[in-house]
Amino acid sequence: MTNLLVTDRQGNDHQIAADLGISLMEAIRATVGEIEAICGGCRSCATCHVYVDERYSAFIPQITEEEDDILENSDHRRPMSRLSCQIPVSDEMSGMQVTIAPEE
């Protein structure tokens, strides 16, 4: 298990314990909610859009071209925007802060 701090769309912080190997999207949906994940994690929508703490960028997979293309269409994109379905939970992410992006 890895402990994460998730900030929801209302600005409330949630300490969650996430199972290793599942996607960040699955961990957030199971605890905080607010993420629709319409495509189910297939990297074909942006309904699991989050902002990741840049201090942890070395511990998450690099953004793929497909993910970058999807996020390019978001009105809420930031430098550390990611699709949470593309980030597997790992021990190295312990303590990472993630903020759920506003709905499109």
How would residue 32 be classed by pLDDT, with cut points 50, 70 and 90? very high
Domain 2-100 is in which class?
alpha beta
The structure's pTM equals 0.93
- Contacts of 15 by beta carbon, 8 Å cutoff, 6+ apart: 3, 4, 5
Tokens of 31: 């605890």
Q: Between 42 and 51, whose confidence is greater?
A: 51
- Contacts of 12 by beta carbon, 8 Å cutoff, 6+ apart: none
Report domain extents, the chain. Answer: 2-100
pLDDT in tens, 47-85: 999 999 999 999 999 999 999 999 999 999 999 999 999
What's the whole-number average pLDDT of the chain? 94
- ∠77-27-75 over CA atoms, to 5°? 15
Tokens of 64: 């793929």
Contact 6, 100 (CB under 8 A): yes
